[in-house]
Structure 1
């Protein structure tokens, strides 16, 4: 017995998930200059991946709220999607201050330097 083909939006979600897996694999193998360009595009505030996923979660939360009000979904599903949306939005806000730096570094020409940059110690600090 064959299964009916999945609706287009379901196939699209599957394809996007597959593409994200491919992008992740490529990112791990890219030279630093190209990796920074990819990361900058993922974080682009106008049409970047993070903003798109946040928007998708927001629409999902709105849908789940309606379904929860009708008794189709448990309210916990709606609440979890709302929290996920808020968390993604907060992550985006935390990364806002770094978008310009990533964009700038990603547009620098790749040149071989006579002296590589000196490593710096990592310091954890939060700005809120």
Structure 2
């Protein structure tokens, strides 16, 4: 039986598809996985940007509802923090966007020559 609110059904479907994408990403060849990741973190049209926008709108909605007394202020504050954190994460990832795009745009010419292992701990420079 379909959910009476089609928007709840849409949210459920998006969550299901994101789960599928994560499962498939784990088994994709590196070149294809990089293409998917580059799209996910795209600041204009990517999944992360969409989720960040959704959280921002949710926070604005919750603020109005909290002001009316329909929601506790803590809900609004939590949604606002989540929105801000997602925006910050997007900013952190944006500095790597060109690298991801470059790697995903290269034609896949078969197995690459193994490169030297990279250190797993990298100091951030800001």
Q: Which of the five TM-score ranges fits, normalised by the shorter chain?
A: over 0.9
2: CA distance between counterparts of 1:100 and 1:75?
Answer: 39
2: CA distance between counterparts of 1:127 and 1:81?
Answer: 29
Query: Post-superposition shift, 1:4?
Result: 7.5
Deviations 1:2-24 (A, max 9, x none): x8833111100000000000000
2: CA distance between counterparts of 1:6 and 1:37?
Answer: 36
2: CA distance between counterparts of 1:42 and 1:85?
Answer: 17
Structure 2 residue ranges without an equivalent (≥5): none
2: CA distance between counterparts of 1:97 and 1:24?
Answer: 23
Deviations 1:36-95 (A, max 9, x none): 000000011111000000000000000000000000000000000000000000000001
2: CA distance between counterparts of 1:51 and 1:66?
Answer: 23
Give the structure-1-normalised TM-score.
0.92
In the alignment, does 2:113 pair up with 1:99?
no
Q: CA RMSD in A?
A: 1.6
Change (3 A) 1:27 1:4: closer
Equivalent position of 2:36 in the other structure: 38
Equivalent position of 1:16 in the other structure: 14
Change (3 A) 1:23 1:126: same
